[in-house]
Amino acid sequence: MDFTIQSALVPVEQGYETVDVQIVDGCIVAIAPNLNLVGTAVDGRNKLLLPGFVNAHTHSPEMWQRGMIPPTPLELWIAELYEFEPLDPEQLYLSALGTAVETLLSGGTSVVDHLVMVPGRELESIAAAVRAYREVGIRAFVGPLMQDEPLTASIPSGGVEREHIPYQRSTQESIAVLQEAILQFHKPDEGIVILPAPTGLQLSSDDLFEGFIELSDRYTLPLHTHLLETKAQQMLAHEKYGCSAVEHLQQLGFLSDRTSLAHCVWLDDADIAILAETKATVVHNPLSNLRLGSGIAPILKYLRAGVNVAFGCDGSASNDSQDLLEAIKIGSILHNVTDFDYRHWMTPREAVEVAALGGATGLGMADEFGSLTVGKQADLVLYDLKNLSLLPRTDPIGLLVLGRPTQAVDSVWVRGDRIVTNGSITTINVDDLRQNLFDRSQWVTNRQSTKIAQVEAHYRSVMNLPEQMRGYS
Amino acid sequence: MDFTIQSALVPVEQGYETVDVQIVDGCIVAIAPNLNLVGTAVDGRNKLLLPGFVNAHTHSPEMWQRGMIPPTPLELWIAELYEFEPLDPEQLYLSALGTAVETLLSGGTSVVDHLVMVPGRELESIAAAVRAYREVGIRAFVGPLMQDEPLTASIPSGGVEREHIPYQRSTQESIAVLQEAILQFHKPDEGIVILPAPTGLQLSSDDLFEGFIELSDRYTLPLHTHLLETKAQQMLAHEKYGCSAVEHLQQLGFLSDRTSLAHCVWLDDADIAILAETKATVVHNPLSNLRLGSGIAPILKYLRAGVNVAFGCDGSASNDSQDLLEAIKIGSILHNVTDFDYRHWMTPREAVEVAALGGATGLGMADEFGSLTVGKQADLVLYDLKNLSLLPRTDPIGLLVLGRPTQAVDSVWVRGDRIVTNGSITTINVDDLRQNLFDRSQWVTNRQSTKIAQVEAHYRSVMNLPEQMRGYS
Q: Which of A64, A102, A343 sits opposite B392 (nearest CB)?
A: A64
CA dihedral A365, A355, A418, B424 (to 10 degrees): 170
User: Is A386 near chain B, with CB under 8 Å?
Assistant: yes
Paired sense of beta strands A47-51 and A40-43, if any: unpaired
Q: Which of A72, A319, A442 sits opposite B342 (nearest CB)?
A: A72
Judge contact between B132 and B100, C-beta under 8 A. Answer: yes
> Closest-CA residue in chain B for A471?
B343
Grouping H, G, I as helix, E, B as strand and the rest as coil, residue B299 is helix
User: Is B304 near chain A, with CB under 8 Å?
Assistant: no
Residues 6+ apart with CB under 8 A from B221: B182, B186, B193, B194, B195, B196, B215, B258
What is the phi/psi pair of residue A10, to 5°? -130, 150
Residues 6+ apart with CB under 8 A from A436: A94
User: Is A4 near chain B, with CB under 8 Å?
Assistant: no
User: Is B448 near chain A, with CB under 8 Å?
Assistant: no
Query: Contact B445/A15, CB-based, under 8 Å?
Result: yes
Judge contact between A10 and A17, C-beta under 8 A. Answer: yes
Paired sense of beta strands B380-384 and B409-414, if any: antiparallel
* Burial bucket for residue A191 (CB in 10 Å: 0-12, 13-18, 19+): buried
The residue among A172, A190, A130 whose CA lies nearest residue A417 is A190
Judge contact between A51 and A139, C-beta under 8 A. Answer: no
CA dihedral B72, B75, B76, B80 (to 10 degrees): 110
Distance CA B126, CA B130 (A): 6
- Chain B contacts in chain A segment 94-153 (CB below 8 A): 98, 101-102, 105
User: Is B265 near chain A, with CB under 8 Å?
Assistant: no
Query: Contact A71/B437, CB-based, under 8 Å?
Result: no
| Distance to chain A for B144, nearest Cα, Å | 23
Distance CA A430, CA A410 (A): 16
The residue among A147, A140, A186, A185 whose CA lies nearest residue A167 is A147
Distance CA A471, CA A126 (A): 40
| Distance to chain B for A313, nearest Cα, Å | 11
Query: Contact B465/A341, CB-based, under 8 Å?
Result: yes
The residue among B181, B119, B123, B186 whose CA lies nearest residue B148 is B119
- Chain B contacts in chain A segment 399-428 (CB below 8 A): 399-400, 402-404, 406-407
pLDDT digits (tens, 9 = 90+) for B301-354: 999 999 999 999 999 999 999 999 999 999 999 999 999 999 999 999 999 999
Average pLDDT, chain B: 95
Q: What's the first-to-final CA gap in chain B, in angstroms?
A: 63
Would you list the DSSP string of B46-61?
TEEEEEPEEEEEE-GG
**What residues does each domain of chain A span?**
3-50+373-423, 51-362
Give the side-chain half-sphere CA count within 13 A for A13. 0
User: Is A340 near chain B, with CB under 8 Å?
Assistant: yes
Give the side-chain half-sphere CA count within 13 A for A286. 25
Distance CA B97, CA B26 (A): 23
Amino acid identity at A274: I
User: Is A396 near chain B, with CB under 8 Å?
Assistant: yes
Grouping H, G, I as helix, E, B as strand and the rest as coil, residue B333 is helix
pLDDT at B473 over 70: no
| DSSP letter (8 states) at residue A22 | E
The residue among B109, B107, B97 whose CA lies nearest residue B64 is B97
Would you list the DSSP string of A317-358?
TSS----HHHHHHHHHHGGGGT-S-GGGSPPHHHHHHIIIII
Q: What is the CA radius of gyration of chain B?
A: 22
SS3 content of chain A, % helix, strand, coil (to 5): 40, 20, 40
Query: Contacts of residue A77 in chain B, CB cutoff 8 Å?
Result: none
Query: Contacts of residue B438 in chain A, CB cutoff 8 Å?
Result: 386, 391-393
Question: Given this chain, do its domains A3-50+373-423 and A51-362 carry the same CATH topology?
Answer: no
- Chain A contacts in chain B segment 426-445 (CB below 8 A): 430, 433-434, 437-438, 440-445
Query: Contact B320/A398, CB-based, under 8 Å?
Result: yes
Chosen from B60, B391, B429 to mutate, greatest number of chain A CBs within 10 A: B391
User: Is B68 near chain A, with CB under 8 Å?
Assistant: yes
User: Is B206 near chain A, with CB under 8 Å?
Assistant: no
Query: Contacts of residue A341 in chain B, CB cutoff 8 Å?
Result: 465-466
The residue among B193, B151, B180 whose CA lies nearest residue B458 is B151
Q: Which of A337, A343, A393 sits opposite B473 (nearest CB)?
A: A343
The residue among A2, A11, A27 whose CA lies nearest residue A19 is A11
Chosen from A391, A425, A442 to mutate, greatest number of chain B CBs within 10 A: A391
User: Is B235 near chain A, with CB under 8 Å?
Assistant: no
Protein fold of B51-362: TIM Barrel (3.20.20)
Q: Which of B293, B395, B444 sits opposite A337 (nearest CB)?
A: B293
Q: Which of B336, B397, B442 sits opposite A71 (nearest CB)?
A: B336
The residue among B59, B143, B61 whose CA lies nearest residue B94 is B61
- Identify the pLDDT of residue B163: 84
10-residue block means of pLDDT along chain A (473 residues)? 97 94 98 98 98 98 94 92 81 98 98 96 98 98 96 86 88 98 98 98 96 98 98 95 97 98 98 98 98 98 98 97 98 97 97 98 98 98 98 97 97 98 98 97 79 86 79 39
HEC per residue, B368-426: CCCCCCCCCECCEEEEECCCHHHCCCCCHHHHHHHCCCCCCEEEEEECCEEEEECCEEC
Helix or strand (DSSP H, E) at A419: strand A417-421
| Distance to chain A for B435, nearest Cα, Å | 8
The residue among A168, A277, A295, A144 whose CA lies nearest residue A231 is A295
Protein fold of B3-50+373-434: Urease, subunit C; domain 1 (2.30.40)
> Closest-CA residue in chain B for A334?
B290
User: Is A448 near chain B, with CB under 8 Å?
Assistant: no
| Distance to chain B for A83, nearest Cα, Å | 15
| Distance to chain A for B15, nearest Cα, Å | 4
Judge contact between A408 and A390, C-beta under 8 A. Answer: yes
Distance CA A70, CA B7 (A): 26
Calculate mean pLDDT across residues B394-402.
97
* Burial bucket for residue B134 (CB in 10 Å: 0-12, 13-18, 19+): middle
Calculate mean pLDDT across residues B193-217.
97
Q: Which of B293, B341, B463 sits opposite A345 (nearest CB)?
A: B293
Grouping H, G, I as helix, E, B as strand and the rest as coil, residue B127 is helix
Please state, as a whole number, how many other Cβ atoms lie within 10 Å of the Cβ of residue A362.
Answer: 31
Query: Contact B438/A386, CB-based, under 8 Å?
Result: yes
Distance CA A457, CA B303 (A): 26
Query: Contacts of residue A88 in chain B, CB cutoff 8 Å?
Result: none
pLDDT digits (tens, 9 = 90+) for B271-283: 999 999 999 999 9
Domain A3-50+373-423 listed as CATH 2.30.40.10: yes
Mutual angle of helices B231-241 and B451-462, in 10-degree steps: 70
| Distance to chain B for A462, nearest Cα, Å | 13
| Distance to chain A for B340, nearest Cα, Å | 7
Q: Vertex A137, ends A135 and A139: CA angle to 5°?
A: 125
Query: Contacts of residue B70 in chain A, CB cutoff 8 Å?
Result: 347, 398
Query: Contacts of residue B67 in chain A, CB cutoff 8 Å?
Result: 390, 394-400, 402-403
Q: Which of A333, A398, A465 sits opposite B341 (nearest CB)?
A: A465
- Give me the residues paired with residue A144 across strands: A115
- Give me the residues paired with residue A53 across strands: A108
Grouping H, G, I as helix, E, B as strand and the rest as coil, residue B334 is helix
| Distance to chain B for A339, nearest Cα, Å | 8
> Closest-CA residue in chain B for A327?
B404
The residue among B257, B307, B306 whose CA lies nearest residue B282 is B307
Query: Contacts of residue A296 in chain B, CB cutoff 8 Å?
Result: 337
| Distance to chain B for A418, nearest Cα, Å | 22
> Closest-CA residue in chain A for B74?
A342
Mutual angle of helices B89-104 and B122-136, in 10-degree steps: 30
ipTM given for this complex:
0.97
Judge contact between B282 and B264, C-beta under 8 A. Answer: yes
User: Is A342 near chain B, with CB under 8 Å?
Assistant: yes
Chosen from A84, A445, A470 to mutate, greatest number of chain B CBs within 10 A: A445
Please state, as a whole number, how many other Cβ atoms lie within 10 Å of the Cβ of residue A343.
Answer: 16
